[in-house]
């Protein structure tokens, strides 16, 4: 009864024009309350001038910003902050687990807003703005897949919300529309491509952007399509542009699409086009706080993207928070729903409404250690983590040995790259000789081993042909239950039951299917990977033809992770040629001779350095290996 009286008092004060942003929750925190009527909220579209003419029609492109905001606040002159999701997917592919798209009435006014942000936050005194990137849905212009057009689409709307850009009542012509109702405080959120745009806009340093919440987001487009010189199997920027702009009629983007085909080298070289889309390189400009979320088993947007972004932000001094789940490419709304909405609510209330709600006292990093078992850390990489070098030592079985933290040991091993096999095959029989990989293990661990951060592998190999790929994976051998990140739901599975998060109207439902945890009992877990093209051993910006028979040394990155390999398990490093599920094969797959004395892995370890033992208890045939086929970004 008391909380109800507090809410009614808040409503009365707000309607009287007095700014009362929040009340005390049952947990003792100050929170914004749902005091505004969602059904009567203002729903409109404003087309914002981007100052660019991407489709070369002689007019500046305007991007469509569909928005919903509380009518009572507008009627009484109360300004509200904005939660914004800028996306290319609002007509082509949909958002969220239910693939929602925008819907409109017969007059073109927005009715259905994908996801729950509007249902939950508008009654609590926020506006929600969903932006169609240039060249998608109802926006003019052309998609450039993470470039100045994409990022500029969203930045222009932030500028309009702060009085620095012009909005209009229609896509062409029309009258100017002001955002005088906005406080100018903007928080951007989004998963995958959407979260990537949030990273990109933050990296411009635009004033008014107070916080971003990137979920499974790219920090460098190079590290989506390429990896240390190797060409990935994730398609091409031109192909993605065609997917997201397929329903955008009446515009000529042939020149823009041709640039997308020309600007990106077919090989793995890091070009100026990739630099334009490298938000890590521009991280020094970020002024917004960052609440990042990623699945450590995300095989779509590889985890190097969150790792390098988080690390680059450390030098900026901005407030940061990180959630790491065991899922693949999954939104936290679908793996930790109630906790996620509460955390997001607290985050936006603080950074957009300015509430003193103790958000700084919450754990900086939360990690899902086992399915639905979360632990908190003060930092990522975990406090106490240090880089440890482990070196391979040949054993009595060819291509199988141990790892040691001691000095280098002489020896060599051979790999034949067919271009047709990959990590699942390499890991399946760890005690047997394989022509396609070599494997080195710590032996049975006497203590838990915490790998937290971004590791690297340094290899010295001699190829037999002028072209060569090198791959490396880290494997936790031992019986364990993990999220089934290789399954259809990438660690979750949806039932038919729903729960509701906010208010609903006809055409804009706040209820969503509940996702349960999907697990797999496995005998091994491949938890980090890295790939490289040996031709880029000297420079990622320019490959060179290899000389058969000559040794080359190259250091490349492993995927960022946070993984505890338990006592009694074994940690193994596998080195192979082409990992066929993830990177393309070289023109002439080689035989590789690995110089063990000049090959090692550098791992970020928290805890005791493992002492190499004999890997005799490695399971020869694990009962189950989670599938590892990478998804495509345009699956959202």
Torsion angles phi and psi, residue 66, rounded to 5: -85, 130
CB within 8 Å of 300: residues ≥ 6 apart:
192, 216, 234, 328, 329, 630, 631, 632, 633, 635
**Least confident interval from 5-9, 296-300, 328-332, 455-459:** 5-9
pLDDT above 90: residue 634: no
- For 218-277, the pLDDT digits (tens) are 999 999 999 999 999 989 999 999 999 977 667 889 999 999 999 999 999 999 999 999
Torsion angles phi and psi, residue 533, rounded to 5: -105, 120
pLDDT above 70: residue 629: no
pLDDT, residue 96, reads 95
Catalytic residue positions, numbered? 192, 298, 329
Q: Which residues lie across from 227 on neighbouring strands?
A: 230
Is 534:463 a contact under the CB 8 Å cutoff? yes
Integer Cα distance of 321 and 211 in angstroms:
11
Alpha helices, H only, 331-444:
337-351, 423-428
**CA 242 distance to own-chain centroid:** 22
**Confidence label for 628 from pLDDT (cuts 50, 70 and 90):** very low
Using alpha carbons only, what angle is made at residue 176 by residues 173 and 181, rounded to the nearest 5 degrees?
Answer: 145
Classify 537 as helix, strand or coil.
coil
**Confidence label for 504 from pLDDT (cuts 50, 70 and 90):** very high
Q: Which residue has the higher pLDDT, 246 or 81?
A: 81
Across 52-70, average pLDDT = 95
pLDDT above 60: residue 414: yes
pLDDT, residue 19, reads 40
Across 296-325, average pLDDT = 98
pLDDT, residue 17, reads 37
pLDDT above 60: residue 207: yes
pLDDT above 90: residue 8: no
Torsion angles phi and psi, residue 125, rounded to 5: 95, 25
pLDDT above 90: residue 23: no
Q: Which residues lie across from 40 on neighbouring strands?
A: none
- For 164-184, the pLDDT digits (tens) are 999 999 999 999 999 999 999
- For 544-568, the pLDDT digits (tens) are 999 999 999 999 999 999 999 999 9
pLDDT, residue 251, reads 81
pLDDT, residue 608, reads 80
Is 514:441 a contact under the CB 8 Å cutoff? no
Across 342-346, average pLDDT = 98
Q: Whole-number mean pLDDT of the chain? A: 92
* CA distances in angstroms from 168 to 5, 136, 148, 367, listed in the order given: 42, 18, 21, 44
* CA distances in angstroms from 76 to 3, 13, 81, 552, listed in the order given: 25, 11, 15, 70
pLDDT, residue 624, reads 47
Classify 487 as helix, strand or coil.
coil
pLDDT, residue 631, reads 47
Topology match between the domains 41-377 and 386-486+521-631: no
pLDDT, residue 610, reads 77
* CA distances in angstroms from 360 to 155, 214, 338, 349, 490, listed in the order given: 27, 19, 20, 12, 31
pLDDT, residue 612, reads 60
Say whether the peptide bond before residue 381 is cis (omega within 30 degrees of 0). Answer: yes
Classify 474 as helix, strand or coil.
strand
What ranges do the domains of the chain cover?
A: 1-35, 41-377, 386-486+521-631
Residue 530 has which token pair? Answer: 């890295």
pLDDT, residue 25, reads 56
pLDDT, residue 18, reads 33
pLDDT above 90: residue 200: yes
pLDDT above 60: residue 627: no
pLDDT above 70: residue 14: no
Domain 41-377 = CATH 2.60.60.20: no
CATH superfamily of 386-486+521-631: Galactose-binding domain-like (2.60.120.260)
Across 337-349, average pLDDT = 98
pLDDT, residue 630, reads 47
pLDDT above 60: residue 461: yes
Classify 51 as helix, strand or coil.
coil
β-pairing, 23-24 vs 30-31, is antiparallel
CB within 8 Å of 180: residues ≥ 6 apart:
79, 163
- For 570-626, the pLDDT digits (tens) are 999 999 999 999 999 999 999 999 999 999 999 999 988 776 655 445 554 444 445
List the end-to-end C-alpha distance of the chain, in Å, as a whole number.
43
The candidate with the shortest Cα–Cα distance to 458, out of 423, 399, 408, 419, is: 408
Integer Cα distance of 530 and 616 in angstroms:
26
């Amino acid at each position: 009864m008391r909380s109800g009286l507090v809410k009614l008092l808040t409503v009365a004060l707000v309607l009287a024009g007095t700014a009362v942003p929040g009340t005390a929750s049952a947990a003792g925190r100050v929170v914004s309350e749902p005091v505004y009527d969602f059904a009567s909220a203002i729903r409109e579209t404003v087309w914002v001038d981007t100052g660019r003419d991407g489709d070369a029609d002689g007019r500046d492109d305007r991007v469509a910003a569909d928005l919903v905001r509380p009518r009572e606040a507008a009627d009484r002159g109360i300004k509200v902050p904005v939660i914004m999701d800028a996306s290319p997917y609002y007509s082509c592919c949909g958002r969220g687990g239910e693939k929602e798209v925008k819907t409109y009435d017969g007059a073109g006014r927005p009715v259905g807003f994908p996801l729950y942000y509007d249902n939950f936050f508008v009654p609590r005194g926020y506006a929600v703005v969903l932006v169609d990137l240039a060249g998608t849905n109802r926006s003019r212009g052309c998609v450039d897949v993470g470039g100045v057009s994409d990022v500029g689409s969203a930045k222009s709307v932030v500028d309009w919300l702060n009085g620095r850009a012009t909005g209009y009542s229609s896509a062409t012509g029309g009258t100017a529309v002001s955002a005088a109702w906005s406080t100018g405080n903007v928080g951007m959120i989004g998963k995958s491509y959407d979260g990537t745009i949030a990273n990109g806009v933050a990296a411009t340093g635009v004033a008014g952007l107070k916080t971003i919440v990137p979920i499974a987001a790219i920090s460098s487009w190079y590290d989506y399509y390429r990896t240390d010189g190797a060409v990935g199997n994730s398609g091409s920027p031109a192909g993605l542009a065609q997917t997201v702009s397929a329903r955008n009629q009446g515009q000529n983007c042939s020149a823009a699409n041709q640039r997308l085909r020309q600007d990106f080298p077919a090989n793995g070289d890091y070009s100026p086009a990739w630099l334009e889309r490298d938000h890590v390189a521009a991280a020094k400009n970020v002024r917004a706080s960052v609440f990042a979320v990623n699945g450590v088993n995300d095989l779509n947007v590889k985890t190097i993207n969150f790792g390098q972004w988080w690390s680059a932000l450390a030098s900026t001094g901005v407030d940061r928070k990180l959630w790491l789940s065991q899922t693949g490419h999954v939104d936290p709304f679908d793996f930790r729903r109630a906790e996620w909405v509460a955390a997001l609510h607290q985050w936006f209330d603080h950074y957009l409404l300015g509430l003193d709600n103790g958000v700084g006292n919450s754990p900086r990093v939360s990690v899902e250690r086992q399915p639905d078992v979360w632990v908190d850390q003060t930092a990522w990489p975990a406090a106490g983590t240090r880089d440890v070098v482990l070196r391979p030592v040949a054993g009595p079985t060819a291509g199988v040995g141990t790892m040691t933290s001691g000095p280098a040991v002489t020896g060599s091993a051979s790999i034949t790259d067919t271009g047709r096999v990959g990590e699942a095959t390499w890991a399946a029989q760890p005690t047997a000789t394989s022509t396609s990989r070599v494997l080195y293990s710590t032996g049975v661990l006497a203590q838990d081993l915490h790998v937290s951060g971004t590791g690297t592998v340094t290899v010295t190999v001699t190829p037999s042909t002028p072209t060569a790929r090198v791959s490396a994976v880290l494997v936790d051998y031992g019986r364990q239950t993990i999220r089934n990140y290789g399954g259809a739901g990438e660690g979750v599975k949806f039932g038919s039951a729903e729960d509701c998060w906010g208010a609903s109207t006809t055409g804009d439902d706040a209820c969503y299917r509940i996702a349960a945890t999907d697990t797999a009992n496995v005998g091994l877990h491949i938890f980090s990977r890295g790939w490289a093209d040996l031709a880029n051993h000297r420079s990622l910006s320019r490959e060179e033809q290899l000389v058969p028979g000559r040794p080359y040394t190259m250091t490349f990155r492993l995927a960022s992770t946070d993984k505890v390999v338990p006592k009694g398990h074994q940690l193994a490093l596998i080195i192979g040629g082409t990992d066929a599920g993830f990177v393309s094969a070289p023109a002439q797959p080689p035989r590789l001779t690995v110089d063990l004395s000049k090959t090692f892995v550098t791992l970020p370890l928290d805890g005791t350095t493992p002492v190499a033992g004999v890997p005799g208890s490695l399971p020869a045939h694990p009962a189950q290996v989670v599938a590892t086929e990478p998804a495509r970004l345009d699956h959202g």
